[in-house]
Structure 1
Amino acid sequence: MRADRLVSLVLLLRQHGRLSATALSRELEVSTRTVLRDIEALSAAGVPVYAERGRHGGFALLPGFQSELTGLNHDEALALLVAGSRRGAQAFGLGSALASAMRKVVDALPESHRATAAGAVQRLLIDPETDLLARRTDTEEVPDTVVTEVRRAVFAGHKLRIHYAAADQAPKWRTVDPIGLVTVRGQGYLLATRSGSDRTYRLSRILAAKQLAEPAQRPDRVDLDRAWQERSTRFRTGGDQVTVLARVNPSRRGDLVGTALAVRAEEEADADGWLRMELTFQDSRHAEWALWQLATNAEVVAPQWLRTSLRDRAAALATCYGVSS
């Protein structure tokens, strides 16, 4: 770990020219005291790093210093393989490894290309945390200690002991056979089996994890994309699904279809131009939430309980805003 950090420190100084101890600590995610100790270690090892004092001072390398420090370790190489999604790297606990690997990639570029690449990167923003309406993308935070242990068990093919908090249940310890990791819209999932049955666990609900020495019972090869599709299908077709018949303004059809599990039937527009659609939702809460989003651009025809629930909700809102503050 320290050797990788020392390499990253040298690469940061080569790429930025001069950085303060505070800036280095922020980049390396360590304390300034650790940075100072690392600087001393580099100097003792013969790396020509020196300090510039003053308001704009910091640490720098002697001009022209070169060293072959660009070898990627396992986690850095793995981070590059999932770098198509920055959020994927973060979800799997590889964020710092990705940053370290990218520093090595930049350092390996010819000097004539390095400046061009750095300028190009400033012109690209991929998968920002908010959209144009300032809505934040939901990215679940998972402790590094948990996701690292889960990831090691997946790669090693060992059984995994997890302390898992399922929805509306007290946390319980479970021993599972890990198959793979999946990230969807910033949310990470562990695909596994338990006593031979398929199980899917949200990483954010794993409170603690420990890799066991016992080999996992799983096939040598797995089509993770197919496995995820099969589990998604079972999830959508199970549970307390709700079927809703609704009249929908055509301009909002896409919004409703995008939230429903499926469109069972769709008829031509009524005399007023609205569509009649039969849709399936995961449960009653899902149905009420989806139709509420459309406000007066949709009308539930059936079931009656959903009409009543939406009416009562609207009445309560009207009462709230009908009273002067």
Structure 2
Amino acid sequence: MVLLLRQRGRLTADTLARELEVSTRTVLRDIEALSSAGVPVYAERGRHGGFALLPGFQTELTGLNHEEALAVLTAGSRRGERVFGLGSALASAVRKVVDALPEGHRATASDAAQRLLIEPETDLLSRRPVTEEVPDTTMIEVRRAVLAGHRLRIHYAATGQPPQWRTVDPIGLVTVRDRGYLLARRSGEDRTYRLSRMLAAEELPEPAQRPNQVDLDQVWRERCAQFLSSDHIAVLVRVHPARREDLLSTAVAVRAEEPDADGWLRLEVTYQDLWHAEWALWQLGTSAEALTPQSLRTSLHHRATAVATRYGHQPESRHLLPS
């Protein structure tokens, strides 16, 4: 609270409550406690009133706690703080970092931060990213087990199956396009669990059966290769650059990409099955062309022929009968 008041000046009780994720009653109680402890905080009444510190008041640098340090380290990994439930810790850590800067540097850093925007809520087409929600209580248990090296019980709802409790050995957490995954082992077998499908989690006291050191990037690449090698269809497709993102939004994965001779792009993408590939490429119309497999080209040709036949003649004139 002191850091917020130092950096922003006068703030209302409602603003402090929102920033600190507590109730207004808690803010008022803590303001009174600060005042009793000798911190020169005072209230200003009126329409534009709030709480403020006397000018020139300084505090000692408060060291980062474990959660805040972890949040700072993950801040550069594409919203890792949001997916892994570290948003509140990151906000607190950033306040401490800013407060530790010399006065001149603090103003420069604040101005620079206002001119850099990383991954806004919508893109130029006003599409909002889909961020999967994971209950805080579940995320905390998963994160603790991963970092402490303990076994983990998860209540997991796999696709097409009723939720079941499973005991796993957690290896690490990965976020991809705002989707979080737990890499783990179960009964000696590699497993990858979607965080959004975890209904509950419990950290267990016994140690996890896992290596002491891990190259998480390498493990993730291996899991991806294993995932793509089973029950999926690989498609070679040409696409107009303007529709590239639309193509990627429907594909399971991209295996290769290179420019084509006419300015289009040639990509090897993966879909769940033939029906999924047909549906996805149909959405792109003439802005994409499936080159292989032939079965996909045939199914798209049959669909296009049926549509052309349907619209190739004038519809019959029909009149609604009076009721």
Q: TM-score, length-normalised on structure 2?
A: 0.84
- Classify 1:22/1:257 alpha carbon distance in 2 versus 1 (closer, same or farther; 3 Å): closer
Equivalent in 151, 165, 173 of residue 173 of structure 1: 165
Structure 2 residue 94 is matched with structure 1 residue 97: no
Structure 1, unmatched stretches of 5+, are 1-8
Cα pair distance change 1:280/1:54, threshold 3 Å: closer
The question of 1:302 aligning with 2:292 is answered no
1:242 to 233, 236, 259: 233
Map 1:122-141 → 2, pairs under 5 A: 122-141=114-133
Secondary structure of 1:19's counterpart equals coil
Deviation string 1:77-116 (CA, Å, 9 cap, x unpaired) is: 1111111135111111100000000000110011111112
Q: Secondary structure at the match of 1:302?
A: helix
1:151 Cα deviation from its structure 2 partner: 0.3
Query: Hey, what's the Cα distance between the residues in 2 that align with 1:316 and 1:278?
Result: 32
1:281 aligns with 2:271: yes
The equivalent of 1:38 in structure 2 is: 30
Check whether the contact 1:70–1:107 (CA below 8 A) recurs between aligned residues: no
CA distance 1:68–1:86, change in 2 (3 Å): farther
Cα deviation 1:159-214 (Å, max 9, x = unaligned): 00000111122111110000000011111110000000000011111110000011
Residue 55 of structure 2 aligns to a residue in which SS?
coil
Query: Structure 2 CA distance, aligned partners of 1:135 and 1:314?
Result: 31
CA-based RMSD: 3.4
1:293 lines up with 2:283 in the alignment: yes
Q: Is the 8 A contact 2:168 2:185 kept in 1?
A: yes
Deviation at 1:48, TM superposition (A): 1.4
Q: Mean Cα displacement is larger for which, 158-167 or 59-68? A: 59-68
How many Å apart are 1:142 and its aligned residue? 1.1
The one-letter amino acid of 2:279's match is W
**1:153 Cα deviation from its structure 2 partner:** 0.3
Q: Distance in 2 between matches of 1:268 and 1:86?
A: 33
- Within 2, Cα distance between the matches of 1:139 and 1:110? 36
Structure 1 runs (4+) deviating above 2 angstroms are 241-246, 248-264, 266-269, 273-282, 296-318
Pick closer, same or farther for the CA change 1:60–1:280 going to 2, 3 Å: closer
2:74 to 68, 82, 88: 82
Distance 1:148-1:71 versus aligned 2 partners, 3 A rule: same
Structure 2 residue matching 1:183: 3-state secondary structure: strand
Mapped contact 1:70–1:105 kept (Cα < 8 A): no
How far apart in 1 are the matches of 2:144 and 2:73? 16
Q: Deviations over 1:250-283 (max 9, x none)?
A: 667956985464469x9989xxx99999865332
- The letter of the residue matching 1:288 is E
* Counterpart AA for 2:114: Q
**Cα separation, 2, equivalents of 1:173 and 1:313:** 48
Do the aligned partners of residues 42 and 196 (structure 1) sit closer, same or farther apart at CA in structure 2, a change above 3 Å counting?
Answer: same
The one of 203, 209, 213 aligned to 1:211:
203
Q: How many residues align?
A: 308
Residue type of the alignment partner of 1:242: I
Residues 126-165 of structure 1 correspond to what in structure 2 (within 5 A)?
126-165=118-157
CA distance in 1, matches of 2:23, 2:278: 49
Q: Deviations over 1:212-252 (max 9, x none)?
A: 0111111111110000000001111111x235577x56667
Q: Which segment is superposed worse, 102-111 or 276-285?
A: 276-285
> Aligned letter for 1:302?
S
Q: Equivalent residue for 1:189?
A: 181
CA distance in 2, matches of 1:10, 1:288: 58
Equivalences for 1:46-125 in 2 at 5 Å? 46-85=38-77, 87-125=79-117
Aligned to 2:219: 227
CA distance in 2: counterparts of 1:76 and 1:206, whole angstroms: 25
CA distance in 2, matches of 1:12, 1:245: 54
Asked if the contact 1:75/1:94 (under 8 Å) is kept, the reply is: yes
1: CA distance, partners of 2:83 / 2:173: 10
